[in-house]
Amino acid sequence: MSKPFLSVESLTQKFPDGKGGTMTVFEDATFGVEKGEFVCILGHSGCGKSTIMNILAGLAEPTSGVVKMDGFEVSGPSLDRGVVFQNYSLLPWLSALRNVMFGVKARNPGWSRAKVTEHSEKYLAMVGLEGDAIHRKPAQLSGGMRQRVSIARAFANHPKLLLLDEPFGALDALTRGTIQDELLKIWSGTQQTVFMITHDIDEAILLADRILLMTNGPHARVAESVEITIPRPRNRTEIVEHPNYYAIRNHLVQFLGRRSKELSGRPSNGEAQTPETVRIDMTESAPTGGGGEENPRLRAVTN
């Protein structure tokens, strides 16, 4: 089998526990992301999601293991991997437009100022920011608008991989919905490869092609890879009526509520921990895939 576009191999992160020993956050995590795929990672706080994100971004070094993108090992941050941080991370002394231009200039040092401005304005318009608002400083923008700027900055750079670290975590539910729609729209236009951390199950189902489920730490691992068998284009009001929606949702809730605890705390003993693929599709005659013992319970819940 050929290597996926992004391949995470035996990634291990250990931190000193403050008592002279070490605490293993996760070990031998192994998974891949295909080109153009939108992957969400779900798990409880403290399972190391953000650490994985920082390693993928090149902002942190794993204790061991490698991340390869397009066949090259990832070391250090790069413009090929754009990041949208939870707290927006806009530079507060620059206007919204200048913040996007900051990224565009870094990506395209040879571009003229007019071209940089035009490109930046185009991407701000894509997330619904036009006119006067783009000349305001981040402090004068609402949380939702700031995150839009941050998303525009990331997309404007055409990174090979876009990393989103709980981008909507600090937003209210209504704003979150609107920006999720905008993210879907801009993503369907660009076919970026996206890797996103979230806490929100519904958000993950709406956005993702595949959801990676992490068990609780310490010794967390990516236990399952759930395919979202709901066709695109998706729409938040229509997907809930799709027969697969609640089947998938219940599976995820069950995992986070129960099995993330049951499966946690098992040392890997040096074996690569690849996630089990789960495919739930109620539209087919019989559910297939590696859900295994989960499926009977799921049917009981959904039927």
> By the criterion CB under 8 A, which residues form the site for other proteins?
57-59, 76-79, 81-83, 85, 87, 89, 91-93, 102-103, 106-107, 137, 139-140
Check if the beta carbon of residue 84 is closer than 8 Å to that of residue 73: no
**Nearer to other proteins (CB atom), residue 76 or residue 292:** 76
In the complex, what is the shortest distance from the CB of residue 106 to other proteins, in angstroms, rounded to a whole number?
Answer: 4
Q: Which is nearer to other proteins, 59 or 125 (CB)?
A: 59
Least distance CB 232 / other proteins (angstroms): 28
- Please answer whether residues 39 and 212 qualify as being in contact, where contact means their C-beta atoms are separated by less than 8 angstroms: yes
Structure tokens at 15: 């931190």
Nearest of 105, 84, 85 to residue 94 by alpha carbon: 105
Please report, for residues 69, 224, 239, 291, the alpha-carbon distance to residue 177 in angstroms, rounded to integers and kept in the order given: 31, 26, 14, 30
How many CB atoms are located within 10 Å of the residue 191 CB? 11
> Are the C-beta atoms of residues 241 and 291 closer than 8 Å to each other?
no
**Least CB distance to other proteins at residue 264 (A):** 29
Of residues 63 and 87, the one with the C-beta less far from other proteins: 87
Task: Please check whether residue 123 is in contact with residue 155, taking contact to mean a CB–CB distance below 8 angstroms.
Answer: yes
Q: How far is the CB of 256 from other proteins (least distance, A)?
A: 28
Q: 171 or 205, CB closer to other proteins?
A: 171
Distance from first CA to last CA of the chain, Å, rounded? 37
Q: How far is the CB of 78 from other proteins (least distance, A)?
A: 6
Closest CB to other proteins among 78 and 302? Answer: 78
